[in-house]
């Protein structure tokens, strides 16, 4: 007899979705050395591996969050001083106005990175209240539709039309997550594609927000990295790599989850899952 024990393999289901499995098996040989029978146990471990990745991601975010908070505060103070003196000189040195404007612009860019770092490291102490998810999504779309980068993008909203999609959460933080994801989708379609947004409620009282674009997609090797802090596929200077990490942290603080599916040259789908706290909403 020959054995294999807990060998991990990837299967492809008929719908082309991959499935991670553990295989344990034995080959039983007959009297003349020919294989007589094969016995296998195949166990689906896709969800287990996904959970392990999420735990590792949470640990990574927690450790880096502590570091980011200290670094951001140390950088923020001198940046504020530089910006203050630059703006003061702009009032007094008109002959150097262009150079000072360049300094001001890049200091503001640095402060944006610092702001992202602080958002990334912030703990879940924000005030919670009843939030209508359809209202938040609609507000974000109205806000971005007037932005120059979205003028040539077709945005379609398919809201859930049953009872209200209310959750216990922080409206500003949730809006920030959706804004970041729509901006990423806008970059993916290169400012001229299509973005579909839908909201749903499952039988398990989960509220879903799905953001789908028909952009260039994410390479398979990068899908598992997109929530990593500072990971970005954008050119240098066009992204901090913190937007999705910040969003991931916010959704986790709301006891939710984010799932991503992507195919190169076909597009990407982000699905945000949030708990509907029905017991609190029926007070």
H/E run at residue 119: helix 97-121
Instruction: Give the angle subtended at the CA of 73 by the CAs of 72 and 74, to the nearest 5°.
Output: 90
pLDDT for position 124: 46
**Model pTM?**
0.57
pLDDT band at 116 (very low <50, low <70, confident <90, very high): low
Mean pLDDT of 149-170: 88
H/E run at residue 67: helix 46-92
Instruction: Give the angle subtended at the CA of 106 by the CAs of 190 and 63, to the nearest 5°.
Output: 80
The residue to which tokens 């969050």 are assigned: 65
The residue to which tokens 């203050």 are assigned: 84
Contact between residue 22 and residue 10 where contact means Cβ atoms under 8 Å apart? no
Contact between residue 91 and residue 59 where contact means Cβ atoms under 8 Å apart? no
Q: Name the token pair of 181.
A: 């994801």
pLDDT for position 8: 85
For residues 240 and 283, give the distance between their C-alpha atoms in angstroms, rounded to a whole number: 42
pLDDT at 137 over 90: yes
For residues 260 and 272, give the distance between their C-alpha atoms in angstroms, rounded to a whole number: 9
For residues 163 and 272, give the distance between their C-alpha atoms in angstroms, rounded to a whole number: 19
Q: What is the mean pLDDT of the chain?
A: 79
Three-class DSSP category at 264: coil
Query: Tens digit of pLDDT for each residue in 243-278?
Result: 787 788 889 888 899 998 888 878 899 999 999 875
Sign of CA dihedral 188, 190, 194, 199: positive
Supply the DSSP string of 168-200, one letter for each residue: EE-HHHHHHHHHHHHHHHHHHTTTSSEEEEEEE
By DSSP bridging, strand 154-158 and strand 2-12 are unpaired
Burial class (CB in 10 A: 0-12, 13-18, 19+), 282: exposed
pLDDT for position 283: 38
pLDDT at 87 over 50: yes
Contact between residue 248 and residue 232 where contact means Cβ atoms under 8 Å apart? no
CA distance to 87, 127, 169, 238, 244, per residue, from 283 (Å):
52, 19, 16, 46, 34
């Amino acid at each position: 007899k020959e054995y294999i024990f807990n060998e991990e393999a990837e299967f492809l289901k008929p719908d082309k979705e991959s499935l991670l499995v553990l295989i344990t098996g034995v080959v039983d040989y007959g009297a003349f050395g020919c294989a007589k029978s094969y016995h296998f146990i195949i166990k689906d471990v896709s969800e287990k591996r996904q959970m392990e990745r999420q735990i590792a991601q949470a640990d990574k975010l927690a450790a880096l969050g502590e570091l980011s908070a200290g670094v951001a505060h140390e950088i923020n103070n001198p940046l504020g001083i530089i910006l203050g003196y630059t703006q003061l000189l702009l009032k007094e040195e008109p002959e150097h106005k262009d150079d000072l404007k360049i300094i001001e612009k890049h200091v503001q860019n640095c402060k944006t990175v610092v702001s992202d770092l602080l958002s990334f490291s912030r703990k879940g102490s924000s005030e919670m209240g009843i939030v209508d998810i359809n209202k938040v999504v609609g507000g974000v779309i109205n806000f971005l539709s007037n932005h120059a980068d979205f003028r040539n993008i077709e945005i379609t909203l398919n809201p859930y039309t049953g009872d209200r999609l209310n959750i216990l959460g922080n409206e500003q933080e949730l809006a920030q997550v959706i804004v970041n994801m729509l901006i990423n989708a806008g970059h993916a379609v290169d400012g001229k594609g299509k973005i579909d947004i839908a909201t749903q409620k499952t039988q398990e009282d989960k509220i879903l927000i799905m953001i789908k674009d028909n952009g260039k997609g994410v390479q398979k090797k990068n899908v598992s990295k997109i929530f990593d802090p500072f990971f970005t596929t954008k050119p240098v200077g066009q992204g901090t790599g913190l937007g999705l990490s910040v969003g991931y942290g916010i959704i986790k603080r709301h006891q939710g989850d984010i799932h991503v599916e992507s195919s190169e040259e076909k597009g990407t789908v982000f699905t945000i899952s949030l708990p509907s706290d029905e017991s609190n909403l029926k007070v």
